[in-house]
Amino acid sequence: MGEIGPELWVLWGVSLATAAVSAILGMAGGILLLAVMLLYLDPVVAIPVHAIAQLASNASRSLAHWRSIRRDLVLPYLILLLPAGLLSIPLTRHAPPDLLRALIGVFVLVATWRRDWLLLGLRPEAVPLGLRFTLVGGLAGLLGPVVGATGPFIAPFFLGLGLSRFELIGTIAACQATGHLAKIGLFGAGGFAFGQHAPLYLGMILAAVAGTALGTRILAFIPEQRFAAIFKAALTLLALRLIASGLPLAFD
């Protein structure tokens, strides 16, 4: 993709639109962007380039909500992120991504609507936040290089914490930004030729920053009391989409 063709304009436009979606909901844009990218690129190219575009989207969102970021959640999240990613790089060549996406979709549905099932009878407050988000970071690091977009996986863990919509969006963005940065480093160390795809991701970076600015303006007009319902509805739709992506594999 060294030349500027119609597919580049499509991906730049989708990057802007999905960054705006993520700025409003705190997630969803990344997986929508990846789904479109996979129409034009092989997975081995789409996932590393997607990481660059999403780093720009999440980093700009983090900056927009810098004062609202819950650092007591972000710092534990970082502990296992990179070590787990190192373990999962070999899986990118062997694990069926569609099956993993479907399993994540099931998890997201359960975590969104039946979190008590995951806690095995424990009360949420009985699980220390630090330990909880250390494990979440480890699982996100493990899954990130394989499935590309882990926003729907980590988002349910932020529900029920009493976060405002700005804390929710800023904190998830900060966690996601570190995850994409780790993926870029891992793929770069593995020999991925990022320079060959510079026109694509440079345009996507600019589009993502513009999309974040647009979505942040729209977010200010969404009432706080409606945000949680919109957030859960978006998670549910994404989970169903993830599950559906694995169905063809199940019937092969």
Q: Taking 60 as the threshold, does the pLDDT of residue 78 lie above it?
A: yes
Sorted by where each begins, the domain ranges of the chain are 6-250
Between the ranges 58-67, 151-160, 188-197, where is the mean pLDDT highest?
58-67
- The Cα–Cα gap between 18 and 20 comes to 5
Does the predicted TM-score (pTM) go above 0.85? no
Question: What local confidence, expressed as pLDDT, does residue 251 receive?
Answer: 45
Q: Taking 50 as the threshold, does the pLDDT of residue 159 lie above it?
A: yes
What integer is the mean pLDDT of 137-157? 76
What integer is the mean pLDDT of 117-121? 54
What integer is the mean pLDDT of 120-144? 74
Token pair in block for residue 231: 């957030």
CB atoms within 10 A of CB 161: 14
Question: What local confidence, expressed as pLDDT, does residue 75 receive?
Answer: 92
115 and 156 Cβ atoms separated by less than 8 Å: yes
Mean pLDDT (the chain, rounded): 76
Phi, psi of 192 (to 5 degrees): -65, 135
Ramachandran assignment for 23, one of left (phi > 0), alpha (psi -120 to 50 degrees), beta (any other): alpha
Whole-angstrom CA distances from 145 to 57, 159, 203, 218 are: 18, 25, 22, 31
Can you list the alpha helix ranges (DSSP code H) found in 65-195? Answer: 71-78, 81-88, 97-113, 115-119, 129-147, 151-154, 165-189
